[in-house]
Chain A
Amino acid sequence: MSTRLAKGGRLIDRTTKLEFSFNGKRLTGHPGDTLASALLANDQMLVGRSFKYHRPRGIVAAGPEEPNALVNLGTGARHEPNQRVTTTELFDGLEATSQNHWPSLEFDVGAINNKLSRFLPAGFYYKTFLFPRAFWKHVFEPIIRKSAGLGKAPKDRDADRYEQAYAFCDLLIAGGGLAGLQAALIAGQAGLRVIVMEQAAHWGGRAPVDGVLVDGVPAGDWVEATLSALAKMENVTLRARCMVAGVYDHGYVLADERVADHTPGDGRPKHRLWRIRAGRILAATGAIERPLAFAGNDVPGVMLAASARDFVVNFGISPGDRTVVVTNNDDAYLTAIALKQAGLDVAAIVDARDNPTGPGVDKARALGLRVASGKAVAKVKGGKRVVGVALCAQAGEGTATEELPCEAVAMSGGWSPVVHLWSHCGGKLLWDESLSCFRPDAARPPLNHDGSAMVLALGAANGHFLAGDVLADASQVAAEAVKLAGKAPGHGAKVATNPLEGATMAPVWVMPQGAPVKLRSKMWLDYQNDVKVSDVQLAAREGYVSVEHTKRYTTLGMATDQGKLSNINGLAILADSLNIAIPEVGTTTFRPPYAPVTLGALAGESRGTIFQPVRQTPMHGWHEGQGAYLEPVGLWRRPFCYPRSGENHEQAVHREILNTRDNVGLLDASTLGKILVKGPDAGRFLDMLYTNVMSSLPVGKCRYGLMCNEQGFLSDDGVVVRLAEDTWLCHTTSGGADRIHGWMEDWLQCEWWDWQVYTANVTEEYAQIAVAGPKARMLLERLGGMDVSAESFPFMTMKEGTLAGLPVRAYRISFSGELSYELAVPAGHGLALWEALVREGAALGVMPYGTEAMHIMRAEKGFIMIGDESDGTVIPQDLNLDWAISKKKADYLGKRGQERNHLVNPDRWKLVGLETLDGSVIPDGAYAAAEGVNANGQRNVEGRVTSTYYSPTLKRGIAMGLVKGGMARLGESVTFPKVGGGQVVARIVDPVFYDKEGAKQNV
């Protein structure tokens, strides 16, 4: 059993007890514990179930590479799934539950998959896709859905807040171990702005655990002294609990600081996401130990050798009374020595190498430990925990030569540098034969904007695993980085010594070497996703040669740990199966983040009402005060309608329409885009931008215009007003203002840069109000100050003056079909004008109307709406807008595009009005069915609906649509099948349903 040792544990405070619970069981630990060490202290070796076979799983690692021990943390609004116990700091009251089992961790029905594992081989998902569709839908999918997924998604709103911060530095050092701290000293003394980030809560990395001496003092003491020296430097910032998650272009770095994970509810943000722009990045990210592939290497109690050492030295944990150490290298001897020195039994050091020699071996032997050389683990005995191992010859096929009872197995398959940050932006790797690992190729780093190396790797991350080499490499790389920044390097520690100087390793990818399939199908590579040696070999047999394909086929390295433990072993197995060298297989792509970053941190403060900026018109508060129902239009919020008590939205919209048609209505049209175009060449420019001629527009007149993109497709529309000889005001759609302004600038700056034209987007400078209805003129007369008579202010003209004492620019334009004035005032006067209109209009029955009433009224008039009648594939000619396209102009944007043969094809679908025979409303988006079927056996279609409404004015369903043949088919009927059965028959009619002569708007 695992337990707490009577003494030891450099990181824990034994004088204080913390209470926590696991699956409802009340347990205790100490400050400084991780949840992993606290669970082990309570003999909780079984902590979860694997993803596919629901195998019992225990803690394998001591850091962020942990693949097994993921738990649900917290409850309710503080519930978080998939939290790694090895990186979760213990706090009083912590509540954790295990994942991926039903009904309980100890007894799991899903474990039947384990017995069925023969039938769930690599590529299982893909192979089942080949079954009949119904079989997949009714049999496989429900089973997979029930058994898949690890933690439970939180259901409540997150109770915590998260923040984001920006930082800038010359040098970002990722990793606060021996290498990172040494580099910080050298760069800090050089005067560089340095940020050092360490993912753990404590500094120093492995050095203090491994018995390293730095300049003759224990590494732990050197770390303390270095931290206080760095803290005194104003140009150096230290951040613990802060993981550098990703490196992006030009020194952009994301880092996730776990500010208050361990102090929930103390008012601080839970996480802080750092967005850093670094001149250069030093990856001092260390290395991760690899498991060995032997049968039963996933039984709880089997863990990485260095992690076992961490638990003993850092937390005073015994992984078991009796441990078997199994290794292919010297490093694991440190674990055997640490266990022995803690008073625990080491049954044997099983070393796959034939004749291991070196300081580790000598020291172990001197302590009386048995070294079984040339041996391998044939099988781990035990189900929910280790009870023993069977040994065999590494060179053989797995015949057991002896059995050793034990409670824990500490394994080491060598080390892999953490090259993620090096690789995120394309740094290349090379295969180091002597260390059997990929390490950064210094000749091919990821590049900065100036072509210099953006990331430099150092220490263990650079393939230097022994303390002396780590320090020397860190000093050299840090000096290089300082010189690249144009400064003179400072000084760090001079020398570090490791108890295992001269250590070696031998590559061992399968144990024993000749293991038969029975054993290989129990050798786990990817613990979380249940990928075994046999799965990778099967993939190779089935023809997979690319590592990226094999990854997806077998799911190797696709779990939440992203293959931190498994990938190199998997690559080696694949290379062996394909009979090629490991570097020829290559690695899969390293993508950010290094370890999962919670979505809360990525969202930061952008949630709820500040999820995104909201644009409000000057009358916004009035609308809200009237209980308007608002709809988003881009970033704007516009009143959809103004429901009165007892009214639903539809009733409100109909009332607003009828009142506008009978009396007078007010629309807040302030969101309409308004772009000033001014200059000697402004007319010439607008003639290129619009399909019709704007240069000929007289001063004081308005003209409707269309804009197309270069492909000829309709892009935006609106009324253009000529304000002065050299000045035009272009109205755009509400959503189009910024886009169209950018479009204008694009052509002015990049194509016609010698034309003298200025543009200004003045959308928010003005409030704009449409006053529409037969009593609109009466209302303006009541405001007073401007002659608004038909004679002095005719249709499609503009007038500047005063209304209700406010400076107004009025346009006689109509989108509703009624007598209509649009009044623009400086934004600051918008509310005053609106309130004056409401006040003076009371006697005339004035009512505000919203966007839906506006939409229906324009449809009754047959006016097109950008985004309804147009969708990026429609040219103005499709919408019978030929009258707004100049035949005389030699050129305009989109003219050449519209000449393409498929756009002049007479069979194109064209705009028509549609009137249902039974008066009903055609469903939105409906397609008109034609005779016959297409090549895919689908019903042919001959048109589609683009706008469809119930018209309260006409008291029937009306629609516009694009139909093959267009208005040439006037009077014919087309059929719209409905989703779920039935159909609607509609007659093709003139799209202008209301006041065809325009008598009402032009009075």
Chain B
Amino acid sequence: MLTLECPYCGVTAEETELAPGYEAHLKRFGPGSTDEQFNDYMFARKNPKGVHFERWRHAYGCGKWFLAARCTATLEVFGTYPAQVGAPPEDIIAKIKARRPEWVME
């Protein structure tokens, strides 16, 4: 049972308070996209063993969606941040690099 800090209300929330929402920073492909683009957007989600960016909702708290950078293998949490960004912020990247010097953003 994970604990994640909600970046909006500052609560360190139990996993039972949260709802998971798969991969973060997805780019939506709508009408006009190719079959391949749509397939990648819809179905080819990342599932790395290691550093991963995920969407979580503080569902039984403030109700806000936020993003989390964590390691799926060790369950380390590098940080959480608001969902209104297209890519992980610099300070989160720095925190990941501090513990995973070999890691590179895909």
B-side contacts of A896, CB under 8 Å:
29-33, 38
Chain A residue at minimal CB-CB distance from B32: A896
Is B52 engaged at the interface, CB distance under 8 Å to the other chain? no
Q: Are the CB atoms of B65 and A746 closer together than 8 Å?
A: yes
B-side contacts of A426, CB under 8 Å:
74
Chain B residue at minimal CB-CB distance from A275: B1
Q: When A425-B75, A711-B42, A745-B63 are in contact, do A900 and B1 touch as well, CB less than 8 Å?
A: no
Q: Are the CB atoms of A749 and B84 closer together than 8 Å?
A: yes
Chain A residue at minimal CB-CB distance from B57: A742
Q: Are the CB atoms of A450 and B76 closer together than 8 Å?
A: yes
Give the size range of B's interface with the partner.
20 to 34
Report Cα–Cα, A48/B74, bound state, in Å. 43
Q: Are the CB atoms of A745 and B65 closer together than 8 Å?
A: yes
Report Cα–Cα, A447/B64, bound state, in Å. 27
Is the contact region of chain B dominated by helix, strand, or loop, or is it mixed? loop
Q: A252-B1, A448-B76, A750-B83 are in contact. List 10 more A-B contacts (CB 8 A).
A: A249-B3, A249-B75, A277-B14, A425-B75, A447-B74, A449-B76, A745-B65, A746-B57, A746-B65, A749-B84
Neighbour of A447 across the interface among B32, B38, B76, CB < 8 A: B76
Is B35 engaged at the interface, CB distance under 8 Å to the other chain? yes
Neighbour of A710 across the interface among B19, B42, B99, CB < 8 A: B42
Q: Are the CB atoms of B29 and A249 closer together than 8 Å?
A: no
B47-89 CB contacts (< 8 Å) to partner A: 55, 57, 59, 63-65, 74-77, 83-84
Is B11 engaged at the interface, CB distance under 8 Å to the other chain? no
Is B2 engaged at the interface, CB distance under 8 Å to the other chain? yes
A-side contacts of B3, CB under 8 Å:
249-250, 252, 277, 449
Report Cα–Cα, A448/B57, bound state, in Å. 21
B-side contacts of A895, CB under 8 Å:
30-31
Chain B residue at minimal CB-CB distance from A452: B76
Report Cα–Cα, A899/B32, bound state, in Å. 10
Report Cα–Cα, A776/B57, bound state, in Å. 44
Report Cα–Cα, A897/B38, bound state, in Å. 8
A890-910 CB contacts (< 8 Å) to partner B: 890-891, 895-897, 899-900
Q: When A742-B57, A746-B65 are in contact, do A249 and B83 touch as well, CB less than 8 Å?
A: no
Q: Are the CB atoms of A742 and B42 closer together than 8 Å?
A: no
A-side contacts of B32, CB under 8 Å:
896
Report Cα–Cα, A753/B57, bound state, in Å. 15
Q: When A250-B2, A250-B3, A711-B42 are in contact, do A750 and B65 touch as well, CB less than 8 Å?
A: yes
Q: Are the CB atoms of A449 and B83 closer together than 8 Å?
A: no
Chain B residue at minimal CB-CB distance from A709: B42
A-side contacts of B99, CB under 8 Å:
451
A-B CB contact pairs (8 Å), 21 listed: A249-B2, A249-B3, A249-B75, A252-B3, A277-B3, A277-B14, A426-B74, A448-B76, A449-B3, A710-B28, A711-B42, A746-B21, A746-B65, A750-B55, A750-B65, A891-B30, A891-B31, A895-B31, A896-B30, A897-B38, A900-B35
Report Cα–Cα, A313/B17, bound state, in Å. 50
B-side contacts of A447, CB under 8 Å:
74-76
Chain A residue at minimal CB-CB distance from B41: A710
Is A751 engaged at the interface, CB distance under 8 Å to the other chain? yes
A209-267 CB contacts (< 8 Å) to partner B: 248-250, 252
A-side contacts of B30, CB under 8 Å:
891, 895-896
A858-913 CB contacts (< 8 Å) to partner B: 890-891, 895-897, 899-900
B-side contacts of A900, CB under 8 Å:
35, 38
Chain B residue at minimal CB-CB distance from A248: B1
Chain B residue at minimal CB-CB distance from A166: B14
**How far is the CB of B72 from the nearest CB of chain A, in Å?**
11
A-side contacts of B75, CB under 8 Å:
249-250, 425, 447, 449
**How far is the CB of B41 from the nearest CB of chain A, in Å?**
8
Report Cα–Cα, A250/B42, bound state, in Å. 31
Chain B residue at minimal CB-CB distance from A761: B63
Report Cα–Cα, A248/B1, bound state, in Å. 6
A-side contacts of B29, CB under 8 Å:
896
Q: When A277-B3, A710-B42 are in contact, do A742 and B74 touch as well, CB less than 8 Å?
A: no
**How far is the CB of A172 from the nearest CB of chain B, in Å?**
15
B-side contacts of A249, CB under 8 Å:
1-3, 15, 75
Report Cα–Cα, A897/B21, bound state, in Å. 19
A728-776 CB contacts (< 8 Å) to partner B: 742, 745-746, 749-751, 753
- Give 9 closest A-B pairs by Cβ, nearest first: A252-B1, A753-B84, A749-B65, A449-B77, A447-B74, A451-B76, A750-B83, A250-B3, A891-B30
B1-50 CB contacts (< 8 Å) to partner A: 1-3, 14-15, 19, 21, 28-33, 35, 38, 42
**How far is the CB of B98 from the nearest CB of chain A, in Å?**
10
**How far is the CB of B56 from the nearest CB of chain A, in Å?**
11
Q: Are the CB atoms of A899 and B76 closer together than 8 Å?
A: no
**How far is the CB of A889 from the nearest CB of chain B, in Å?**
9
Report Cα–Cα, A742/B19, bound state, in Å. 10
Residue with the highest number of chain B CB atoms closer than 10 Å, among A449, A711, A891: A449
Report Cα–Cα, A890/B77, bound state, in Å. 40
Neighbour of B74 across the interface among A248, A451, A890, CB < 8 A: A451
Report Cα–Cα, A252/B19, bound state, in Å. 18
**How far is the CB of B93 from the nearest CB of chain A, in Å?**
16
A-side contacts of B74, CB under 8 Å:
426, 447, 451
Chain A residue at minimal CB-CB distance from B35: A900
Q: Are the CB atoms of B21 and A890 closer together than 8 Å?
A: no
**How far is the CB of B85 from the nearest CB of chain A, in Å?**
9
A687-726 contact mask (Cβ, 8 Å, vs B): 1 or 0: 0000000000000000000000011000000000000000
Chain B residue at minimal CB-CB distance from A754: B84
Report Cα–Cα, A746/B20, bound state, in Å. 11
B-side contacts of A753, CB under 8 Å:
83-84
**How far is the CB of A166 from the nearest CB of chain B, in Å?**
10
**How far is the CB of B53 from the nearest CB of chain A, in Å?**
12
**How far is the CB of A500 from the nearest CB of chain B, in Å?**
39
Neighbour of B31 across the interface among A277, A425, A890, CB < 8 A: A890
Chain A residue at minimal CB-CB distance from B55: A750
